[in-house]
A and B are shown apart, each in its own frame.
Chain A
Amino acid sequence: MKRKLFLFMAVIASLLLTVSAWAGSIQIKGSTTVLPVAQKIAEQFMKEFPDISISISGGGSGNGIKALIDGTTDIADSSRFIKDKEIKLAVSKGRYPVPFAVAYDCIVPVVHPSNPVSNLTLEQLKAIYTGRVKNWKDVGGEDRRIVVISRDTSSGTYEVWEKKVLKGARVYAGAQLQASNGAVAQVVAKNKYAIGYLGIGYLNKDIKVVKVNGVTGTPATALDGSFPIARSLFMFTQGWPKGDVAKFIRYVLHPQKGQKLVREVGFVPLY
């Protein structure tokens, strides 16, 4: 019994030591959308370079960029580009965030499989999400009320949707806000009146993808720019990356290494 306890303590102590005493260590914070990509790549990276340890935490794009500005992280994950306000704040503190696009993601509108609507224009989507159109028959469907599903207003996915679809207008107060991509997929799969939107990594066979302006959201259309609701996922570094951070960023951008993992996680690689 005592020996077991001692072993346990030794393991804990060595774990604590490795985190603090290792020479090369990289901190990554930020977007929960980028999190799975960063985690997968970091795992492989640490296998190849066992002397560099990486610690990753989520918390949102805004938090990641703020941590970068405060100097508490080496890399900030972000599912949106840095805002003017944030750049000004960073520069006033003598820091220069450098953006690296690491993957693409497209946000596709989804409906219940029984819904006959298969194409919507950006204007129709805007009308639905601002509450001007409340019945499916106004956009070419059956005579049913539309149940609008959205991500909560704090999510990066919502911010991209707000910018590209709502064009700055406020989402209708009757929209049902869900706290995760998974919850949106679940709700739309269960409700034949619903419309929602999802990152491309979350699609499954229980939901139907709707074309936007006649274009289906796929990795190819996201890459060539023909699908209108696509976004880049970013990693921001503090100044031009040096040393271990540069090594990691190069690994992420490497077509056979990081970018291959981007595809495995379900996002769109850069090339």
Chain B
Amino acid sequence: MFSRQKREQLIKLAFLSIACGSIIILGLIMFFLFYEGLPIFKHVSFKEFFLGTEWYPTSEPPSFGIFPLFIGSLLVTILSSLIAVPLGIMTAIYLAEIAGPKIRGIVKPVVELLAALPSVVIGFFGMVVVAPFLQEYFDLPTGLNVFNASLMLAFMSIPTICSISEDAIYSVPTELKEASLGLGATHLQTIVRVVLPASLSGISTAVILGMSRAIGETMVVLMVAGGAAMIPESVFDPVRPMPASIAAEMAEAPFRSDHYHALFAIGVVLFVFTLLFNMVADHIAHKHKQVGAATL
């Protein structure tokens, strides 16, 4: 029907239009996020919004200070990364370098299956099993707190971190390892000094993706973070991360009211944060890019 060249061109055109379509849709989503979020700054100054410590969107007069929500998000993300990053990367090293093919064949699919657990299930587990346990064991007034939420989020991001890091570590060229071992290095030395640096770009992408998942995750923090809009004094205090506030309040905020705009503005803050995360990951990935077996 068409000549070979024509067909090739058509296929290219089809892919181009699909790519353009998704970029336009993403652009529109971004546009509406800002369009609905920015009007809140007509009523509240930037400083009041970011540094205000009171979040009472429905009181008369309302206060729109997201500082406690922001701190809540940050704390939960940092703590969950502290738990998930070492565990995820070490599991990845074990699977790629140490485990035999039989164990790897069983463990890897299991880890990847964990990533498919719906967040509401993890949240429910945290609420019904982990919270009463923490409360009993540490004698706390409440088990719904930063620590519980971080544990659950770590549980969610470990599979992501592990599976992507494992791919990166596994794809380190064999020549590198052979060269290292040939020079008399032990297996452990080879892993720490050669394999890890060589797969750093992949590992950092894995870490950032895991952290993005933790900061944007909504259901878990809604269910187990406790939901108190105050600045926590310890990791055993309840907090109210930003996605939890949006999820809890969006349904009842009247369309285009100040409250509605304020929730969209929180969405903008989250968006900017994830964007920053991804830019950092991109930067690290480029800086430590593995171009050939010879570079190190």
Q: Which residues of A contact B (CB under 8 A)?
A: 32, 58-63, 66, 144-145, 147, 152-156, 158-159, 168, 170, 173-179, 183, 186-187, 190-191, 193-194
- A209–B59 Cα distance when bound, in Å, is 28
- A173–B232 Cα distance when bound, in Å, is 11
A154 contacts which of B58, B141, B223 (Cβ < 8 Å)? B58
The answer to the question of B242 belonging to the interface, with a C-beta cut-off of 8 Å to chain A, is no
Which residues of the other chain, B, contact A176 by a CB distance below 8 angstroms? Answer: 142, 144, 226-228, 238
Residue picked from A62, A153, A191, most chain B C-beta under 10 Å: A153
Which residues of the other chain, A, contact B57 by a CB distance below 8 angstroms? Answer: 153-154
B254 contacts which of A58, A63, A183, A190 (Cβ < 8 Å)? A63
In this complex, how many residues of chain B approach chain A with their Cβ under 8 Å: the count is 36
- Which residue of chain A lies nearest to B129 when distances are taken between CB atoms in the complex? A190
Which residues of the other chain, A, contact B131 by a CB distance below 8 angstroms? Answer: 190-191
The answer to the question of B261 belonging to the interface, with a C-beta cut-off of 8 Å to chain A, is no
A173 contacts B54, C-beta separation under 8 Å: yes
- A173-B228, A173-B230 given as contacts; is B251 within 8 A of A59 (CB)? yes
Which residues of the other chain, B, contact A190 by a CB distance below 8 angstroms? Answer: 127-128, 131-132, 143
B249 contacts A153, C-beta separation under 8 Å: yes
Which residues of the other chain, A, contact B230 by a CB distance below 8 angstroms? Answer: 173-174
The answer to the question of B222 belonging to the interface, with a C-beta cut-off of 8 Å to chain A, is yes
- A119–B68 Cα distance when bound, in Å, is 34
**Quick one: which of B21-72 are within 8 Å of A by CB?**
54-60, 68
The answer to the question of B252 belonging to the interface, with a C-beta cut-off of 8 Å to chain A, is yes
- A141–B164 Cα distance when bound, in Å, is 53
A177 contacts B228, C-beta separation under 8 Å: yes
A179 contacts B141, C-beta separation under 8 Å: no
Q: Which residues of B contact A (CB under 8 A)?
A: 54-60, 68, 127-128, 131-132, 135, 141-144, 222-223, 226-230, 238, 240, 247-249, 251-255, 257, 259
- 11 A-B pairs besides A156-B252, A176-B228, A187-B127 with CB distance below 8 A are A60-B254, A66-B255, A147-B141, A153-B249, A154-B253, A175-B228, A176-B142, A177-B248, A183-B223, A186-B127, A186-B128
What DSSP secondary structure best describes chain A's contact surface? Answer: mixed
Which residues of the other chain, B, contact A194 by a CB distance below 8 angstroms? Answer: 142
- A191–B144 Cα distance when bound, in Å, is 10
Which residues of the other chain, A, contact B248 by a CB distance below 8 angstroms? Answer: 152, 154, 177, 179
A173 contacts which of B68, B135, B142, B223 (Cβ < 8 Å)? B68
Report the minimum CB–CB distance from B56 to chain A (whole Å): 6
- A38–B131 Cα distance when bound, in Å, is 35
Which residues of the other chain, A, contact B259 by a CB distance below 8 angstroms? Answer: 154
Which residues of the other chain, A, contact B254 by a CB distance below 8 angstroms? Answer: 60, 62-63, 66
Which residues of the other chain, B, contact A159 by a CB distance below 8 angstroms? Answer: 58
A178 contacts B227, C-beta separation under 8 Å: yes
- A147-B141, A152-B248, A190-B132 given as contacts; is B255 within 8 A of A177 (CB)? no
- A147-B142, A174-B228, A191-B143 given as contacts; is B249 within 8 A of A152 (CB)? yes
B228 contacts A60, C-beta separation under 8 Å: no
Report the minimum CB–CB distance from A229 to chain B (whole Å): 19
A63 contacts B142, C-beta separation under 8 Å: no
B255 contacts which of A63, A154, A158 (Cβ < 8 Å)? A63
Which residues of the other chain, B, contact A147 by a CB distance below 8 angstroms? Answer: 141-142
- A62-B252, A66-B255, A176-B227 given as contacts; is B128 within 8 A of A153 (CB)? no
Which residues of the other chain, B, contact A61 by a CB distance below 8 angstroms? Answer: 252
Which 7 residue pairs are nearest across A and B when measured between Cβ atoms? A60-B252, A154-B252, A177-B227, A173-B230, A62-B254, A179-B248, A152-B248
Which residues of the other chain, B, contact A191 by a CB distance below 8 angstroms? Answer: 131-132, 135, 142-143
Residue picked from A61, A154, A156, A193, most chain B C-beta under 10 Å: A154
- A170–B62 Cα distance when bound, in Å, is 10
- A60–B255 Cα distance when bound, in Å, is 11
B252 contacts A63, C-beta separation under 8 Å: yes
Which residues of the other chain, A, contact B128 by a CB distance below 8 angstroms? Answer: 186, 190
Report the minimum CB–CB distance from B163 to chain A (whole Å): 31
Which residues of the other chain, B, contact A58 by a CB distance below 8 angstroms? Answer: 251
Report the minimum CB–CB distance from B285 to chain A (whole Å): 38
- A148–B251 Cα distance when bound, in Å, is 23
Q: Can you list 25 pairs linking A and B with CB atoms under 8 Å apart?
A: A32-B251, A32-B252, A58-B251, A60-B252, A62-B252, A62-B253, A63-B252, A63-B254, A66-B254, A145-B141, A147-B142, A152-B249, A159-B58, A168-B60, A173-B68, A173-B229, A176-B238, A177-B248, A178-B227, A179-B247, A187-B127, A190-B132, A191-B135, A191-B143, A193-B141
